[in-house]
Chains A and B, each alone.
Chain A
Amino acid sequence: MERVAFLWQSWLDKAACAGVTAIICSIICMFYFRSTQVIEQRSLVNPVSVRENIAAQKPPPRPPAIQAALDKSKTLLEAKDYDQVITLAEGVMALDAKESFAHLYLARAYLAKGDMPKSIRTYAKAVELNPDFVDRKSLDKIGPELKVLVRSAVEELKKDEITKQPDYNDTLRAFYYLQRRLAGGCE
């Protein structure tokens, strides 16, 4: 009991005890709200899946159907058949939501069709799934292409027709994410 009385000697002890209670309540609330999915996921994609992706030293070979669809998407992109690319890439993502190249081709197709907000969001997902896209030492790097996009998006994202879109905040978040990834740093 002496110990407990000791805890209440000063305002600092009282504040600390209040802090302890508040933190315990916060943790319980965070778990509760997370289970009811009220808390917004900050990550653009599921962070666990990203970690799995990063952890893979050598990614397993793709199933032949997915590989064929990706190859075809690439060819169709060069042939400027963007609608077909979108259909194919979405088909691949239905089979494997973590396939970064499907996101990449989809983003390129959206951009070519003039839908910059959708393109930015999809590029951001591609980069989060596959950080090699913004890695200067990687063969998969798309840094120069992204820099051009980000530079042109600065003005584009201020336009009224884009700011009024319902998912404008998501687009902005994805845009800032791409900016920071392109800036480099240690993570």
Chain B
Amino acid sequence: MLSWFKKYWQNTPGLNWMIILTGMAFGILGILLVTWGNPTNTGICASCFLEGIAGALGLHTNVRMMYLRPELIGIVLGSFILALSTKGFSARGGASPLISFTLGIFTIVGSAMFMGCPVKLVYRLTSGDLTTLAGVVGLLAGVWVGVRFMREGFFLGDPGEQKTLNGLLLPIGAGVLLVFLLVKPGFIQFSTRGSGSIYAPWYISLGVGLTLGGLAQRSRFCIVGGLRNFFLAKDKSLLTGVFFMIMFAFITALVTNQFNPGMFDQPGSHFDHIWNFWGMFLTGYAAVLLGGCPLRQMVLAGEGDVDAGTSITGMLLAAALVHNWGLASSTAGPTFNGKIAVLIGILFCLVLSLIHRE
């Protein structure tokens, strides 16, 4: 086994310990966050947690989804701190900002249909939730289609250098949210019931976020990015990190007694496999066009990528809209509005892929 891995390592250019360590950390810490208090199968989820943040900021009215999740704040700040300390911080961007914004919106619309982002998909899958299988196929299909269009010449444009303040704004925003979380000013709302009221202690969540953000900044870890690189250039380096994430999440779920294989009594899931597929298809497709999954966008924003910051702003808007417009699925199933939104999202991505080429 060890010799096989050694050979695999030698035959995989770009693979390094940092990628493996990041995958392991995402796998272990994400599952442990549930043990420490986060909602079941939701150690880390960009879409769910952004919905919580949007609610806490008063952007939607679902009183059960209002909490400033320190994990996401930590990921942005962790990436920012690491980028600063390794001189990796550079304010850059300006390539198709409104397209990034819109793709950010549709990434969350797809995730809200599936009830989780690609990272949560891994946690749900490794905890035994078989309803995610359609989502896995959808994500693979979405990434594959996006990669095909990249091969045909889809390109958002070259990011240019920006004034430093542009790149600093999102990490500063994350810092302000952290202050709000600690000070709890009257205009920030916190759920007293529902999933928004279920969370690990803030210092643990923040610590996990900082760790994962820092590691992901160094390793460029990304689930969608790993699949994209594999489909595009047979590059298995990032995908190996994803494999380690899956493996260690599975082991941790087994050890912490969170592994509950089955289809029927799975938390935060629904049976509509067709729409699970299309939801994740949209997320995978939009994320490839954006250049990474929602968590990767947060890491990029932390190191000064203004386009990633713009896409996160779109995601935050979408996190509010999915509740205000009834787009988010629930355990009862997807909504009509949600289905239409997903179809419009795929339509947008297809038209964009067709006409936005270099």
Contact = CB atoms under 8 A, between A and B. Distances in A.
* Chain B binds chain A: yes
Contacts of A182: 265
B193 A128 contact: no
Interface string B191-209: 0111101100000000000
Interface in A24-46: 24, 26-27, 30-31, 34, 39, 41-44
A10 interface: yes
Nearest to A56: B63
A12 B333 contact: no
Given A27-B340, A30-B340, A187-B330, A42 B272 contact: yes
Interface string B28-45: 000000000001111001
Contacts of B265: 179-180, 182-183
Nearest to A52: B61
Nearest to B265: A179
Nearest to B47: A186
A51 interface: yes
Contacts of B40: 183-186
A132 interface: yes
- Of A20, A137, A176, the most chain B CB neighbours within 10 A belong to A176
Residue among B149, B193, B328 with the most chain A CB within 10 A? B193
Given A47-B335, A177-B332, A182-B265, A135 B354 contact: no
A37 to B, nearest CB: 12
Contact of A181 (B39, B148, B329, B331): B331
Given A27-B340, A43-B335, A187-B115, A16 B268 contact: no
Contacts of A179: 264-265
B253 to A, nearest CB: 14
A137 B48 CA distance: 20
B296 interface: no
Contact of A19 (B45, B193, B194, B350): B350
- Give chain A's interface secondary structure class: helix
B218 interface: no
B42 A39 contact: no
A23 B343 contact: yes
Interface string A160-181: 0000000000000000110111
A176 B346 contact: no
B357 to A, nearest CB: 8
A131 interface: yes
A121 B340 CA distance: 28
Interface string B116-128: 1000000000000
B233 interface: no
B333 A131 contact: no
A128 B268 contact: no
A54 B64 contact: yes
Contacts of A39: 336
Interface residues of A, number: 46
Assign chain B's interface to a size class. 35 or more
A158 interface: no
Given A19-B346, A48-B326, A185-B269, A13 B354 contact: yes
A17 interface: yes
Contacts of B335: 42-43, 47
Contacts of A138: 193
B333 A43 contact: yes
Nearest to B148: A12
Contacts of B340: 27, 30-31
A20 B350 contact: yes
A118 B41 CA distance: 31
Contacts of B42: 185-186
Contacts of A180: 264-270, 331
B193 to A, nearest CB: 5
B194 A24 contact: no
Nearest to A26: B343
Contact of B194 (A26, A48, A51, A135): A135
B350 A12 contact: no
B179 interface: no
B132 to A, nearest CB: 12
B344 interface: yes
Interface of B: 39-42, 45, 48, 61-64, 115-116, 148-149, 152, 192-195, 197-198, 264-272, 323, 326, 328-336, 339-340, 343-344, 346-347, 350-351, 353-355, 357
Interface of A: 3, 6-7, 10, 12-13, 16-17, 19-20, 23-24, 26-27, 30-31, 34, 39, 41-44, 47-48, 51, 54-57, 128, 131-132, 135, 137-138, 176-177, 179-187
8 contacts: A13-B354, A23-B346, A34-B336, A47-B332, A128-B332, A137-B198, A180-B265, A185-B195
